[in-house]
């Protein structure tokens, strides 16, 4: 099947499935999915079920609420259809999607829900789910991503995770994880809940910990208002003031390239690789939060991360055969340092905080991308601070030792510079910095690396500090890179994904690592199994009236 090209850019005036109403410091995000507006036309998005297109709008709304609405401190997400909050991912869509699309879809929806939690925890924009009808499967998982769940007590609306009894798959958007990890539902009750098609209603839902508050229709609006007021009081977001408009991205796309203003991507199909090039800022960048707001989406820090984020999503979905991503940078190191200085100088400013959190989320997208990540440090590059994270994010990094000796006037040799950025701004899904992760269990190596923060490191210094993998000189350079890409391209992509995911996340488990590794790995296995996707499996039989025929052997 040829998947249509998927575009991740949208804006509220183009939403087909959501409405965003801002009322003072409260935002109401209402889901009313247009059944006819699915990404493919072989399914209808009935009963507020969603596909990737619906989730792209949700993702857009989450981002815009953070940047464009500094004064909003509570976001209420609710259903716009009668008796229905949200029915979860559309079953026909899943049944007709390629395995790869399903996996990618789940990853993106998970990232969006993690973003909602991040907004609550770190942007202090608290999300509340006002579940005013049935919340099934992905619908309940959306509610689970919110900090509070209110459920209408109308003797029929229930929350449920019916995937296992109905579809023979898992609730793949963090449901199983969040029920026990976040809401602390007892595991035996969680088991009972997740095998019960009709779900749990009313008081029992509160008792089991599945929702926080219930109210009958008559006092439903009062409950919502009360909870908004309570949560708004906790926020430190400014009251009102100008936001940063996320203006449309300046993007040019060809078959083999993607060009924005500071980020460009070129695809090399023979080696199955894409090279991301990031250009350092030219000209002064905002030094304070207010200046950042004034510069808006044009500020280099924000512009770059938006472009990078969009490029990542584009390649993930639309270029699945491009298995290796190569990162390069170009420009003045000091310019990058100056641009990111605002992140420490005015750290508490809401816009500064949002910019930093955006980078953190985007770098996390790289951590969980099923691609080989290779970073290439050459003379003229600017891997400083935030951009130096691209060295640490890589599965393999190369740094040129010395310079281009054949040139009449060889440029100064390549250097990299760690800054405060690597010491805590950008945690990975395992909640550790990339530096901590790199030196997991090796405190002296960690100390050695942190001791060089702020210094320009040449190849041998970077080797000494264990920050780069290989440092060929100019004689070997081209060959080493070419061979690495060709070799990578010759391995099984599945095996590579498995290896990379295992090596990227050392250390403690977090809710995110459980979602992206444990839950996803099980789900991806189940997605391949005949009991789910075979001709007699549950996804195919769903809605046909005939029951699935399971292979009863436990594996």
Partner 1 sequence: MAAVDINAKIPNNVDLAGDRRLQRALEQWQPKFVRWWEELGPAAFARNPVYLRTAIDVGQEGWANFGHVEMPDYRWGIFLSDREKDRKIAFGDHKGEDVWQEVPGEYRSDLRRLIVVQGDTEPASVEQQRKLSLTAPSLYDMRNLFQVNVEEGRHLWAMVYLLHGYFGRDGRDEADEMLERHSGDADNPRILGAFNEETPDWLSFFMFTYFTDRDGKYQLASLRESAFDPLSRTCEFMLKEEAHHMFVGASGVGRVVQRTAELIREHDTDDIHQYGGINLDVLQKYINFHYSVSLDLFGSETSTNAANYFASGLKGRFQEERRDDDHLLKSVYRTVPDWTESGIGAREVTQLAALNETLRDDYSEDCQKGVDRWNRALEEAGINFTFRLANTSFNRKVGTFRDHHMSPDGKPISDAEWEANMDRWLPSDSDRAHVLSLMTGVSEPGKMAGWVAPPSRGIHQKPVDYEYVRV
If binding is defined by CB under 8 A, does position 472 make contact with partner 1? yes
CB of 40 vs partner 1, minimal distance in Å: 36
Contact 427, 360 (CB under 8 A): yes
90 or 484: CB nearest partner 1: 484
273 or 437: CB nearest partner 1: 273
Q: 321: closest CA among 3, 20, 91? A: 3
Contact 123, 172 (CB under 8 A): no
255 or 406: CB nearest partner 1: 406
Among positions 74-103, residues that touch partner 1 (CB under 8 A) are none
User: Contact with partner 1 (CB under 8 A): which of 486, 509, 536, 549?
Assistant: 486
CB of 438 vs partner 1, minimal distance in Å: 23
CB of 20 vs partner 1, minimal distance in Å: 49
Compute the CA torsion angle 56, 128, 177, 101 (nearest 10 deg). -10
| Beta-ladder partners of 267 | 274
CB of 462 vs partner 1, minimal distance in Å: 17
CB of 487 vs partner 1, minimal distance in Å: 4
CB of 396 vs partner 1, minimal distance in Å: 13
| Beta-ladder partners of 160 | 136
Q: How far apart are CA 363 and CA 297, in angstroms?
A: 19
SS3 sequence of 467-515: CCCECCEHHHHHHHHHHHHHHHHHCCHHHHHHHHHHHHCCCCCCHHHHH
Kindly give, in sequence order, each residue whose CB lies less than 8 Å from that of residue 424, ignoring residues fewer than 6 positions away: 433
CB of 145 vs partner 1, minimal distance in Å: 42
13 or 406: CB nearest partner 1: 406
User: Contact with partner 1 (CB under 8 A): which of 231, 316, 434, 488?
Assistant: 488
User: Contact with partner 1 (CB under 8 A): which of 476, 509, 536, 549?
Assistant: 476
Q: 262: closest CA among 246, 285, 278? A: 278
Contact 404, 427 (CB under 8 A): no
Stretch that binds partner 1, among 101-109, 417-425, 445-453, 485-493 (CB under 8 A): 485-493
User: Contact with partner 1 (CB under 8 A): which of 198, 207, 479, 551?
Assistant: 479
User: Contact with partner 1 (CB under 8 A): which of 121, 217, 230, 475?
Assistant: 475
CB of 465 vs partner 1, minimal distance in Å: 20
User: Given the structure tokens 């789940």, which residue do they identify?
Assistant: 106
Q: How far apart are CA 529 and CA 549, in angstroms?
A: 12
User: Contact with partner 1 (CB under 8 A): which of 25, 397, 415, 489?
Assistant: 489
273 or 279: CB nearest partner 1: 273
- Residues 255-274 as x/- pattern, contact with partner 1 by CB under 8 A: ----------------x---
E-strand ranges in 300-399 read 324-330, 372-377, 383-384, 396-399
Residue 517: alpha-carbon gap to chain centroid: 14
Q: How far apart are CA 269 and CA 377, in angstroms?
A: 22
Tokens at residue 201, please?
Answer: 């209603």
If binding is defined by CB under 8 A, does position 366 make contact with partner 1? no
If binding is defined by CB under 8 A, does position 482 make contact with partner 1? yes
If binding is defined by CB under 8 A, does position 406 make contact with partner 1? yes
492 or 546: CB nearest partner 1: 492
Residue 473 CB neighbour total at 10 angstroms: 13
Tokens at residue 42, please?
Answer: 């072989």
Q: 66: closest CA among 134, 7, 127, 131? A: 127
470 or 522: CB nearest partner 1: 470
84 or 496: CB nearest partner 1: 496
If binding is defined by CB under 8 A, does position 407 make contact with partner 1? no
Number of residues this chain uses to bind partner 1 (CB under 8 A):
18
Helices (H) and strands (E) in the chain, counts: 22, 21
Among positions 178-217, residues that touch partner 1 (CB under 8 A) are none
187 or 482: CB nearest partner 1: 482
Contact 397, 468 (CB under 8 A): yes
12 DSSP assignment: G
284 or 483: CB nearest partner 1: 483
CB of 410 vs partner 1, minimal distance in Å: 13
Tokens at residue 545, please?
Answer: 């009236």
Tokens at residue 337, please?
Answer: 């340092």
23 or 487: CB nearest partner 1: 487
Q: Which residues bind partner 1 (CB under 8 A)?
A: 271, 405-406, 470, 472, 475-476, 479-480, 482-490
């Amino acid at each position: 099947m040829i998947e249509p090209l998927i575009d991740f850019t949208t804006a509220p005036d183009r939403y087909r499935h959501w409405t965003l109403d801002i009322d003072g410091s409260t935002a109401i995000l209402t889901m009313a999915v247009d059944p006819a507006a699915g990404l493919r036309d072989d399914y209808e998005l009935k009963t507020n079920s969603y596909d990737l297109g619906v989730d792209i709008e949700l993702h857009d709304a989450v981002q815009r609420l953070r940047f464009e609405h500094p004064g909003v401190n509570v976001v209420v997400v609710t259903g716009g259809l009668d008796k229905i909050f949200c029915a979860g991912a559309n079953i026909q869509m899943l049944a007709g999607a390629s395995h790869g699309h399903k996996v990618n879809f789940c990853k993106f929806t998970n990232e969006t829900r993690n973003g909602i939690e991040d907004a609550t925890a770190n942007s202090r924009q608290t999300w509340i789910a006002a579940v005013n009808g049935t919340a099934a499967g992905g619908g309940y998982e959306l509610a689970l991503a919110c900090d509070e769940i209110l459920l209408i007590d109308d003797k029929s609306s229930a929350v449920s995770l019916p995937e296992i009894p109905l579809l023979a798959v898992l609730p793949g958007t963090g449901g199983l994880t969040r029920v026990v990890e976040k809401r602390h539902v007892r595991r035996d009750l969680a088991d009972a809940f997740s095998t019960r098609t009709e779900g749990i209603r009313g008081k029992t839902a509160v008792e089991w910990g599945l929702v926080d508050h219930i109210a009958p229709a008559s006092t439903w609006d009062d409950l919502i208002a009360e909870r908004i007021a309570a949560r708004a009081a906790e926020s430190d977001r400014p009251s009102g003031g100008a936001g940063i408009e996320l203006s449309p991205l300046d993007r040019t796309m060809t078959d083999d390239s993607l060009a924005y203003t500071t980020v460009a991507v070129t695809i090399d199909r023979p080696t199955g690789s894409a090279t991301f090039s990031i250009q350092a800022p030219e000209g002064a960048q905002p030094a304070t939060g207010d200046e950042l707001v004034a510069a808006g989406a044009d500020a280099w820090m924000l512009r770059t991360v938006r472009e990078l984020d969009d490029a990542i999503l584009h390649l993930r979905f639309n270029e699945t055969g491009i298995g290796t991503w190569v990162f390069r940078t170009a420009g003045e190191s000091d310019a990058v340092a100056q641009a990111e200085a605002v992140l420490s100088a005015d750290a508490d400013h809401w816009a500064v905080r949002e910019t930093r959190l955006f980078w953190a989320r985007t770098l996390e997208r790289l951590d969980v991308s099923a691609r080989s990540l290779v970073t290439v440090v050459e003379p003229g590059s600017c891997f400083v601070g935030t951009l130096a994270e691209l060295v640490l994010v890589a599965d393999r990094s190369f740094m040129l030792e010395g310079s281009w000796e054949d040139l009449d006037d060889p440029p100064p040799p390549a250097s990299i510079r760690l800054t405060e950025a690597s010491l805590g701004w950008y945690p990975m899904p395992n909640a550790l910095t990339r530096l901590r992760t790199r030196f997991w269990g090796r405190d002296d190596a960690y100390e050695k690396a942190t001791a060089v923060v702020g210094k320009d490191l040449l190849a041998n210094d970077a080797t000494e500090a264990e920050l780069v993998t290989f440092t060929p000189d100019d004689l070997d350079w081209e060959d080493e890179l070419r061979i690495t890409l060709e070799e990578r391209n010759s391995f099984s992509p599945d095996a590579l994904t498995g290896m990379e995911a295992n090596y990227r996340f050392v250390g403690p488990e977090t809710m995110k690592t459980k979602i992206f590794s444990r839950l996803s790995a099980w789900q991806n296995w189940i997605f391949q199994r005949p009991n789910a996707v075979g001709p007699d499996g549950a996804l195919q039989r769903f809605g046909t009236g005939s029951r699935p025929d399971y292979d009863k052997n436990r594996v």
